[in-house]
Structure 1
């Protein structure tokens, strides 16, 4: 049912967006215009997301939105439910846990039609009354399930599904999603709790991935990961910049009395309220099909591809039809959800501790190996090398969802004859690295060609054999970002807090302009002013950077990013030459004397250290107080053999010293926590990421005193 537009509002039909300067308005006129703009924008959101029938152009909508933002800023007119709040709120330190009003359970699933029929038989057997059972069928979205609470028609809280009973509070992030209304429409209950699925549309996903690759960032693996990562951002303004959408599909709970959101507690899975089976005691909502019809009247977007069928064969037919059009949809689905339509029957069927007994997912078979190239973008690495990357419609390859594959170089592209739009076969080299093995269906003429200028900085591109390189050096932001990220990575100096996103921010904001040496001149105050940062995180990164002023020589050489030289070979160089100055004075013959260094790698090493720019970077690092320490002759033993340690936070010795100690006695020391880690040693002010990873993997977290006791039990003295 299309609602009539607001009466006498000049910004609904053919709005005049040639606004006079806001400074010329009186406070009363600004207030009136802002109220009209809010009303009009809400109406346009409804027409766009719910009715799928916009009445103005995107450009006109943007003009209205920008005008409202100007008025609210200049006249201090922002309201709690203003559309402008979608641009993002203040960053938070951590996402808080909140108890869900209604447990969000999972759904049993299968890809076999016979198992779907067995589900139907089980439903009829448990009802045991001979009544007809019809089903509501809807797409099974591959996104992130959320619970949203509206109080008196106003958006109040959003939480992720979490463990089904406790989720992350993502209120401010979900607020930025345009299809989530800040205020309901029509005749809504005083308190309404609904379930939706946040997702990233496929076209937007590919476009966003292309931007990430061009900026030197790794693309998201698939739209679901993109949506989940975006929704869990600590800075809502980052979420606002990413293209999320939301479909609603369940009324979870409702109340006839307004109550503060803090007082809306969990109903419990065994509640007699209709909430426990996905409905609410509202007039006219006796079935799930009723909910689908009602949600749009409240301004909540539902997916148009849903159907009411009168038996299980109709549900199976719907799933098969949906599979046929799957590739034409702008969102990821991996099957069909079928729900017993009648809520009274749902109540009688109930739930298990984990699943609804009245719902089932009939899944699609995984996409296998063949997929379409949605785009080809060019990534610039820290050495300046241009790598063409194919962005794929997500496909299952060996049990792993793949959405990108390297095309290696121009010669490889020409040999394949591959271009955007082609259907290709994707394989995984060594069952790990995805690559395009052949073109199955060509939908283009010719093949993709790498640009003559760098897509990031515009510098000329030069060929070196089959490879192409940007000539911009560290004046190219992409190379500089990659260099900074590598310097702080596990393969470098293991600087907690200096990951891909932080490195990009530091370069984009001009805090790092020439080289990694600029890291040591950044003030904590400057860091704290960046989006998503606070005083605590800024101070912690400064402390981490200071910690690296006395790195082991091997770690320092690895951090510099010498071509072809990883952590192991860097340590071999450190052991062979003993000090940085000795290595800087070495010639190619000296390098080739080191075991494992052939002529190609030796030439790369000499060329790197003979390069005037690289020498200057090393000089600046030393001027900043960075002085690599030569390898110590520690007694080698096997007292700690078989153990793997990860260190975080500030210890009484440097992290490098702690790592060298355990390695000297047979243990492994790694920079990140995994299921193979035996202990996470946490000093003062430890990193939250490593602690969270350890908790998720069940890895024991010990403090420095416990670490010392552990070593003493095995005959190893600590501190060294």
Structure 2
């Protein structure tokens, strides 16, 4: 092979015992800076190779960090950035879209089966066509397959498999993966295109999912989904923050080829390409089948997901003779594992904080098939149930799905731990104390807790709150992540330019949301009470409170000073009255409500019964009405016997459309054949029933 990069210079000062204190940047000439940059890049590449490929680092992590930071500082100060510099691993500016590019060689799939008879038929065909062969046996990784193209030793591009002929150029994301070398080592070919499997290690996946759950975000279903979702992020800095790795396992194309697959794999580490240490070469299909069975036995011990093994003809000439179909390489076969079913170990336990502060422990599982669905988490419900089942991290458990939907831990199959899991004493999100209330546990942080605050914003804007169309869970997450929603009240401080600067927001969507928010500044009292998210105070209880007290301050005063008065309200009682009192007694909640009242003026209740002229009808409203708020219109139709709901369904009788309406409700109305009427038609309908909208 042509000579490429030589082995790293052993005299490089940043290799063995590197300094961690450096002379000031201003004292360096440009020539000195360039020389130092080259030596640092060379040394850091070697440290990366030793860490990721050899698993034999020669410096401490903090020393590596000091070298890396010095290189970044030099590149920034002297404008010396380069595409294959190790510093490219930190990400960069977000992309607008991925470019679709053609592969240098087809990335075909592999024929597969879980039956040994099919594997033997594959071997019979191979031997009929090319004679006796050796097989290379490898784990079948359950990750994301990609092509990595190196020209003159530098990473030129990284492309997802796509349809096998072309895929998405995700080079900037691939550069952030530590085990992807920016530049090859040793005597590498001038041109080398290799196939690799990007994956998320199982321990890192569980830790990442735990962080997501404790931040109130939806966890990934399994490591493969986590990897696929990460590698397609348009923001490389997000990819850099997630724990991805890669195994390289095949040559797609090269300026010079070895005559066997095993030789290719032996050379990969010389180039800095990380290979799996479970690869074996066998000379019979019986040994290949035995290899698969042994891998099945150790599957749970591996720190990466595999779903079988791959059996490949070793000799390259024989491979070419065997050829390929339109979909499959005929020289390889995947011997699949049976799906894991229902029984699996608990890898970790995360703590999820709900809108009301309720603490729900969640078991993070090794992904398992339950009724045809891959499950990687299951509810442990509450501390009392955990104690009853005596369940803990490390135990092997049986998982079921309640109503075929919600996974839960049914029972311990094998006890491999001491005792049962204990909840932390403090909230993992806000560090407030966690207190027990009977079988349940709650974070005492209230709206000062980020998790409760975000869920409170979602609830405030949701169907049981003020029904702000265009502000669903995904939008709230995005706005919170962008630092635009530090509280519920911050909704009323959003500006058009802030919204349109975010991905996915245009002028129209921003204007529609701001119109929705503006129309909610004078909400009906019942809607406002429900939107606050007071435990056990949903729309029905909120309406009873509004009827009883008429004004918000009257409700608040009774909650703070005379909670027994609340107990006389229909649908309240002692327990709910106590919850209302506790909500307003919280300093954090009181401050959040006071901040909200600077922007919102809850209207006096208009929920006196006015007859049953609209009984049996269900209305949904979207957009802003003229001369009356949407909430007031809801109150009026309900006062005359109708229902007013926040979402369109087959039970909806009318969708009333005002100015700047949301598209989702109109689409739902069309899908359910629900009549759509404007404000004039709505007023006429009420007048026909003798109802004055004003």
Distance 1:310 1:497 in 2: 61
Structure 2 counterparts to residues 226-305 of structure 1, below 5 A: 226-254=226-254, 282-284=256-258, 286-305=259-278
Structure 2 counterparts to residues 622-637 of structure 1, below 5 A: 623-624=598-599
Distance 1:359 1:637 in 2: 65
Distance 2:232 2:544 in 1: 44
CA 7–124 in structure 1, closer or farther in 2 if over 3 Å, else same: same
Distance 2:11 2:588 in 1: 66
SS at match of 2:361: strand
What's the offset of the Cα at 1:501?
A: 8.5
What's 1:70 paired with?
Answer: 73
Distance 2:674 2:642 in 1: 10
What's 1:520 paired with?
Answer: 492
- Does structure 1 conserve the Cα–Cα contact (< 8 Å) formed by 2:105 and 2:253? yes
Distance 2:542 2:25 in 1: 65
What's 2:180 paired with?
Answer: 180
What's the offset of the Cα at 1:42?
A: 0.5
- Does structure 1 conserve the Cα–Cα contact (< 8 Å) formed by 2:8 and 2:42? no
What's the offset of the Cα at 1:713?
A: 9.7
Distance 1:671 1:88 in 2: 43
- Does structure 2 conserve the Cα–Cα contact (< 8 Å) formed by 1:525 and 1:535? no
| CA offsets 1:21-75 (integer angstroms, 9 cap, x no match) | 4444333322221211100011111122222222222222222112212222233
| CA offsets 1:263-306 (integer angstroms, 9 cap, x no match) | xxxxxxxxxxxxxxxxxxx242x332232223323221111211
User: For 2:364, which of 386, 391, 412 is the aligned residue?
Assistant: 391
- Whether 1:89 aligns to 2:113 is no
User: For 2:384, which of 384, 397, 411 is the aligned residue?
Assistant: 411
| CA offsets 1:585-618 (integer angstroms, 9 cap, x no match) | 687578636xxx8986687578768989767756
Larger Rg computed on CA atoms: 2
| CA offsets 1:666-705 (integer angstroms, 9 cap, x no match) | 9x99699xxxxxxxx9x99999xx9xxxxxxxxxxxx98x
Distance 2:528 2:105 in 1: 52
What's 1:121 paired with?
Answer: 124
CA 240–283 in structure 1, closer or farther in 2 if over 3 Å, else same: closer
What's 1:104 paired with?
Answer: 107
What's 1:460 paired with?
Answer: 433
What's the offset of the Cα at 1:121?
A: 2.7
SS at match of 1:375: strand
What's the offset of the Cα at 1:244?
A: 0.4
User: For 1:506, which of 445, 470, 480 is the aligned residue?
Assistant: 480
What's 1:329 paired with?
Answer: 302
What's 1:262 paired with?
Answer: none
What's 1:141 paired with?
Answer: 141
- Whether 1:308 aligns to 2:281 is yes
User: For 2:351, which of 378, 385, 389 is the aligned residue?
Assistant: 378
- Does structure 1 conserve the Cα–Cα contact (< 8 Å) formed by 2:515 and 2:660? no
The more displaced of 604-613 and 20-29 is 604-613
Normalising by structure 2, report the TM-score: 0.79
SS at match of 2:156: strand
What's 2:224 paired with?
Answer: 224
- Does structure 2 conserve the Cα–Cα contact (< 8 Å) formed by 1:486 and 1:559? yes
What's 1:51 paired with?
Answer: 54
CA 223–602 in structure 1, closer or farther in 2 if over 3 Å, else same: same
What's 1:171 paired with?
Answer: 171
SS at match of 1:592: coil
User: For 1:25, which of 11, 25, 28 is the aligned residue?
Assistant: 28
| CA offsets 1:416-455 (integer angstroms, 9 cap, x no match) | 2222222333222222222222333333333222233323
SS at match of 1:105: coil
Distance 2:117 2:527 in 1: 58
- Does structure 1 conserve the Cα–Cα contact (< 8 Å) formed by 2:344 and 2:367? yes
- Does structure 2 conserve the Cα–Cα contact (< 8 Å) formed by 1:592 and 1:599? no
Normalising by structure 1, report the TM-score: 0.76
Distance 2:613 2:518 in 1: 21
- Does structure 2 conserve the Cα–Cα contact (< 8 Å) formed by 1:712 and 1:718? no
Structure 2, unmatched stretches of 5+, are 556-564, 635-640, 650-656, 682-694
CA 417–453 in structure 1, closer or farther in 2 if over 3 Å, else same: same
SS at match of 1:233: coil
Distance 1:38 1:671 in 2: 59
User: For 2:513, which of 544, 548, 573 is the aligned residue?
Assistant: 544
Distance 1:311 1:555 in 2: 73
Distance 1:350 1:333 in 2: 26
- Does structure 1 conserve the Cα–Cα contact (< 8 Å) formed by 2:111 and 2:333? yes
What's the offset of the Cα at 1:576?
A: 11
Distance 2:575 2:309 in 1: 55
What's the offset of the Cα at 1:619?
A: 6.6
What's 1:676 paired with?
Answer: none
What's the offset of the Cα at 1:621?
A: 4.6
Distance 1:77 1:634 in 2: 77
| CA offsets 1:367-403 (integer angstroms, 9 cap, x no match) | 2333222222322222122222222222222222222
Distance 1:615 1:375 in 2: 36
Distance 1:507 1:354 in 2: 42
What's the offset of the Cα at 1:183?
A: 1.2
- Does structure 1 conserve the Cα–Cα contact (< 8 Å) formed by 2:447 and 2:588? no
Structure 1, unmatched stretches of 5+, are 257-281, 673-680, 691-702
Distance 2:144 2:528 in 1: 41
What's the offset of the Cα at 1:242?
A: 0.8
What's 1:274 paired with?
Answer: none
- Does structure 2 conserve the Cα–Cα contact (< 8 Å) formed by 1:549 and 1:626? no
- Does structure 2 conserve the Cα–Cα contact (< 8 Å) formed by 1:159 and 1:171? yes
Structure 2 counterparts to residues 640-719 of structure 1, below 5 A: 717=677
Distance 2:517 2:492 in 1: 10
